[in-house]
Amino acid sequence: MEKRIIVALDFNEAKIALNLVDSLDPELCRLKVGKELYTACGPDLLKQIQDRGFEVFLDLKFHDIPNTVAKAVNVAGNMGVWMLNVHASGGQAMMEAAREALLEFGSQRPKLIAVTVLTSLAQVDLHQIGIECSPEEQVSKLAFLTRDAGLDGVVCSAAETRLLRAQLPKEFCLVTPGIRRATDATGDQKRVLGPADAVRSGSNYLVVGRPITQAKSPSEALFEFNSAIASVS
């Protein structure tokens, strides 16, 4: 079975994170380690998660000058992560430097994707930082820039996947956060979609946090998300 659910480990303590990890099956999902958990626990916890059989999406959203990003990406490659990301708004030169930093890993290199527009941002938020176009237009611009830089895909809202899938090559990967069932609270996500609708729209991988990690039974919640995806696959 293709593992399309990526469970976000949004914790700041190793014990809590590992308790959740031990309740999940590495055959049914991948895991995302982001800034909070990585800052708190570092690469040692990353290795403990990998030793349990899980593939890891290292979600640190690198955004700096090309040389700095390239060095950080290379270090992540040596950690054996499955996927990592940069910010597309860092520019084409930065993204190309990141891609080139992974060439030495050959067929074992991690997938490299770029963040377009954070799912917490709506039109008014973009205007506040000087971007006058709509979120959809900005996502499309940054997705094409990412493709031109030779990366594997982008992080985007499920609201934009149908548009991007129509515009970009089939093999270009779309990773979608902000996935919620009808009964789930949206929290700080402003552009959300259900798992089945996200897959229908063209998402390859769905990032799910609180609806699974804060569920009474995370394994049952994961089963529900996988079942929803299977119904349209």
List, as one string, the DSSP characters of the chain. ----EEEE---S-HHHHHHHHTTS-TTT-EEEEEHHHHHHHHHHHHHHHHHTT--EEEEEEE-S-HHHHHHHHHHHHHTT-SEEEEEGGG-HHHHHHHHHHTGGGGGGPPEEEEE-S-TT--HHHHHHTT--S-HHHHHHHHHHHHHHTT-SEEE--HHHHHHHHHHS-TTSEEEE--B--TTS--TT-SS-B-HHHHHHHT-SEEEE-HHHHTSSSHHHHHHHHHHHHHTT-
Nearest to 31 by CA among 51, 50, 12: 50
**Nearest 5 degrees, angle CA 120-CA 121-CA 126?**
165
| Annotated catalytic residue within 3, 61, 71, 111 | 61
CA distance linking residue 80 with residue 108, whole number of Å: 8
Q: Is 61 a catalytic site residue? A: yes
CA distance linking residue 186 with residue 203, whole number of Å: 19
| CA Rg value for the chain | 17
Q: Which residues belong to the active site?
A: 61
